[in-house]
Structure 1
Amino acid sequence: MSDDVVAYRKMGSWRQRTSAHVAVVQAELDRIEMMGCLSECDKKLADKANQLLQGAREAADGWPPFRSGASARDRALATIHEAELILLKLTPAQEIGWAGSSVLAKGIQHLGQEDPRLKLLEEHLRENNNMLDVDGRYLAAGVLHAANHVEEIEIGRVRNFRDILLLAFLALSVFTVLLVLSGYDNPEALADKLCFQPPDPTPQNPDATKYVCPVGGKPADGDNVLLVASLGAAAAALAGATSIRHIRGSAVPYMVPMSLLILRIPIGALSAILGLVLIHGEFIPGLSALDSGAQIAAWAVAFGIGQETLTRLLDKKGNLLLENVRGSSRDADSPPPPSTDRLIKPALWPGAPYGPRPGSEAAAVEPEDTERERAPVAGDHPASAAGERPGT
Structure 2
Amino acid sequence: MQDVAGEKAFSWRQRALAYIAELQSQLDGYSDGSPLVNGAQRHLDAAREAAAGRASLRGAWSGLAVDRTWANINKVEVALLKLLPDAELPWWGSDVLARALQHLGPQDPRRVKLEEHLCGQDGKLSPQDRTLAVITLQASNIAAQQEKVRLRSFRNTILTSTIILALVAVALLVVGALHPHAINLCFDDPKAAPACPVGTAPSTWDVAIVELVGLSAASLVGAIGLRHIYGTSAPYTLPIVLALLKLPAGAVSAVIGLMLVQARFVPGLSDLDTSAQVLGWAALFGAAQQLITRLVDEQGQNVLSNVRDASRGVEKTAEPPCPPDLGR
Unpaired runs of 5+ in structure 1? 201-207, 332-345, 352-376, 381-392
- Decide whether the 8 Å contact of 1:212 with 1:290 is kept in 2: yes
Deviations 1:133-192 (A, max 9, x none): 2221110011111111111111111111111111111111011011001012122211x2
1:288–1:378 distance in 2 versus 1, CA, 3 Å? closer
Could you tell me the TM-score, scaled by structure 2's length?
0.92
Matched, 1:152 2:150: no
What's the offset of the Cα at 1:229? 0.5
Partner of 2:16: 18
Q: Which amino acid aligns with 1:235?
A: A
Q: SS of the counterpart of 1:98?
A: helix
Identical columns (%): 41
Q: Which of these residues, 96, 113, 136, is aligned with residue 89 of structure 2?
A: 96
1:199–1:122 distance in 2 versus 1, CA, 3 Å? same
Partner of 1:374: none
Partner of 1:112: 105
1:231-270 alignment runs, 5 A limit: 231-270=213-252
* Structure with the higher helix share, 1 or 2: 2
Q: Which amino acid aligns with 2:186?
A: C
Q: SS of the counterpart of 1:74?
A: helix
What's the offset of the Cα at 1:288? 2.2
Counting matched residue pairs gives 319
1:153-232 alignment runs, 5 A limit: 153-190=146-183, 192=184, 194-200=185-191, 208-209=192-193, 211-219=194-202, 221-232=203-214
Q: Which of these residues, 292, 314, 322, is aligned with residue 274 of structure 2?
A: 292
Separation in 1, partners of 2:66, 2:284: 41
What's the offset of the Cα at 1:130? 2.6
1:149–1:54 distance in 2 versus 1, CA, 3 Å? same
Q: SS of the counterpart of 1:197?
A: strand
Separation in 1, partners of 2:306, 2:111: 19
Deviations 1:257-287 (A, max 9, x none): 1111111000000000000000111111222
Unpaired runs of 5+ in structure 2? none
Partner of 2:35: 44
Separation in 1, partners of 2:275, 2:327: 80
By relative contact order (CA 8 Å, sep 6+), the higher-ranking structure is 2
- Decide whether the 8 Å contact of 1:271 with 1:307 is kept in 2: yes
Separation in 2, partners of 1:379, 1:162: 43
In our comparison, the structure showing a higher alpha carbon Rg is: 1
Separation in 1, partners of 2:128, 2:314: 33
Could you tell me the TM-score, scaled by structure 1's length?
0.77
Separation in 1, partners of 2:48, 2:198: 57
Aligned structure 1 segments of 4 or more residues deviating by more than 4 angstroms: 64-68, 377-380
